């Protein structure tokens, strides 16, 4: 099919819930993709922070093909080796205790919410517990995840949502303290807000939340679906702050392309929350996706991907600082951590036309809230890739 035929067919038969760019991607290699017509693009969005290793990283495809030759799916009623290896990798890397594999980030959030509510219910057998979430956050579009997403635009058409959720200001500890009460069972937040405009947590803010949670036996849920798996220059973003979550959610780069997510619990929550019959999934944690997860951790370790991401994050930060200085009349802020970065533009310089122009010139890049250009490239980019992306953006500006 030609690119136009593909787009026309998709538009005819697929429910219109995405405003897609006029691009049909046929293949990828390294940090580049090619469309159906053979045009090449530098990929600085990585499937929205999914392709941490880029396309066809040596060893990844071979491991998945090997698992296909064995078994794709069994059931969670049985054991299998990929599950054992993937679970050990996630748990030992996170410093937590138990993991539950899901099919997506939104499902990971659902499991985290259920774990927190079950933990609170076991303490007092009450159903009036509250969760404090953050304004401008994004946790997913299923009903539970949407309920803790602090954006009325996403929520309004689907109300009533899950009750017992209140919203504080991100990086404003006093607004959190004002909401804490005897019914509070959990505080959920992204360690780095992504869709909300690329806002890392302030160290004092997240550490004080941890202290409050410890003092009042409230569970801290950290959403690392977009910012985890090495993207910030640490394997998990909370490592920057010297604190630990009670529950952590991850997905996206966890499988580097296969649909897999997870929520991970510390020992306290694992021993006092979900039991057989409380939660389940047909596909979550099947042999195929677990083979991908185990392989990703192995490749990260063997090739020191996180250290490379840290170095490239510093290089990208310097390049964007310089870009912002050259265009101070248009760029009002540069924020980020490692290889999750945002350039906020002035209201009279909307980023939509910039992303469209970049597409024309061979650069894939996306936006975030508040007129922000979002940079979430594969972690394996080079300095030359950064330089090329900046040159293209210069032409777009």
Centre a 10 Å sphere on the Cβ of residue 105 and count the other Cβ atoms it contains. Answer: 27
CATH code for the domain of 167? 3.40.640.10
CA distance 179 to 134: 11
Shared domain check, 262 and 379: no
Q: Of all helices (H) and strands (E), which one includes residue 82?
A: helix 81-94
In a domain, 369, yes or no: yes
DSSP 313: H
Shared domain check, 284 and 212: yes
User: What is the per-residue pLDDT for 263?
Assistant: 98
User: What is the per-residue pLDDT for 370?
Assistant: 84
For the chain, list residues with pLDDT below 70. none
DSSP 218: P
Shared domain check, 167 and 275: yes
Using the 3D structure, point to which of 257, 286, 303 is the last residue of a domain: 303
Mark 368-389 as b/e (b = at least 16 C-beta within 10 Å). bbbbbbbbbbbbbbeeebbebb
User: What is the per-residue pLDDT for 135?
Assistant: 98
Using the 3D structure, point to which of 303, 328, 360 is the last residue of a domain: 303
Shared domain check, 245 and 108: yes
Shared domain check, 325 and 178: no
User: Nearest 5 degrees, angle CA 310-CA 315-CA 318?
Assistant: 125
Tokens 């995840």 locate to 145
User: Nearest 5 degrees, angle CA 179-CA 180-CA 181?
Assistant: 115
CA 387 to chain centroid: 25
In a domain, 64, yes or no: no
Q: Is the peptide bond before 160 cis (omega within 30 degrees of 0)?
A: yes
In a domain, 354, yes or no: yes
pTM: 0.97
Instruction: Specify the 3-state DSSP secondary structure of 224.
Output: coil
In a domain, 190, yes or no: yes
| Predicted confidence (pLDDT) per residue in 223-248, tens digit | 999 999 999 999 999 999 999 999 99
In a domain, 63, yes or no: no
User: What is the per-residue pLDDT for 323?
Assistant: 98
Phi (first) and psi of residue 361, to 5 degrees:
-95, 5
Domains: count for the chain: 2
CATH code for the domain of 22? 3.90.1150.10
Shared domain check, 287 and 166: yes
Domain boundaries, position 36: 3-57+304-396
User: What is the per-residue pLDDT for 278?
Assistant: 97
């Amino acid at each position: 099919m030609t690119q136009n035929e593909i787009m026309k067919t998709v538009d005819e038969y697929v429910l219109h819930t995405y405003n897609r760019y006029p691009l049909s991607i046929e293949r990828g290699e390294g940090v580049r993709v090619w469309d159906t017509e053979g045009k090449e693009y530098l990929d600085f969005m990585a499937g929205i922070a999914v392709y941490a290793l880029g396309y066809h990283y040596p060893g990844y495809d071979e491991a998945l093909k090997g698992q296909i030759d064995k078994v794709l799916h069994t059931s969670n009623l049985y054991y299998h080796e990929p599950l054992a290896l993937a679970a050990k990798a996630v748990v030992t890397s996170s410093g937590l205790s138990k993991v539950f594999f899901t099919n997506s980030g939104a499902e990971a959030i659902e499991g985290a919410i259920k774990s927190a509510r079950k933990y609170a219910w076991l303490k007092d057998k009450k159903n009036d517990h509250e969760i404090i979430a953050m304004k401008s956050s994004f946790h997913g579009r299923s009903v539970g995840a949407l309920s803790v997403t602090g954006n009325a635009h996403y929520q309004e058409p689907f109300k009533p949502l899950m009750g017992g959720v209140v919203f504080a200001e991100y990086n404003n500890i006093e607004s959190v303290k004002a909401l804490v009460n005897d019914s509070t069972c959990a505080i959920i937040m992204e360690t780095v807000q992504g869709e909300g405009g690329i806002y890392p947590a302030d160290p004092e803010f997240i550490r004080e939340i941890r202290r409050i949670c410890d003092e009042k036996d409230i569970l801290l849920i950290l959403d690392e679906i977009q910012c985890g798996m090495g993207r910030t220059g640490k394997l998990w973003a909370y490592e920057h702050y010297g604190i630990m979550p009670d529950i952590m959610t991850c997905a996206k780069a966890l499988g580097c392309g296969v649909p897999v997510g997870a929520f991970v619990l510390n020992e306290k929550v694992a021993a006092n929350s979900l039991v057989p019959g409380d939660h389940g999934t047909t596909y979550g944690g099947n042999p195929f996706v677990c083979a991908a997860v185990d392989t990703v951790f192995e490749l990260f370790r063997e090739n020191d991907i996180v250290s490379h991401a840290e170095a490239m994050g510093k290089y990208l930060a310097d390049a964007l600082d310089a870009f912002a200085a050259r265009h101070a009349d248009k760029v009002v802020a540069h924020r980020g951590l490692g290889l999750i970065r945002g350039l906020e533009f002035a209201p009279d310089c909307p980023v939509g036309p910039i992303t469209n122009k970049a597409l024309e010139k061979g650069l894939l890049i996306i936006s975030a809230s508040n007129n922000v250009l979002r940079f979430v490239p594969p972690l394996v980019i080079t300095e030359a890739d950064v330089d090329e992306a900046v040159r293209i953006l210069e032409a777009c500006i």
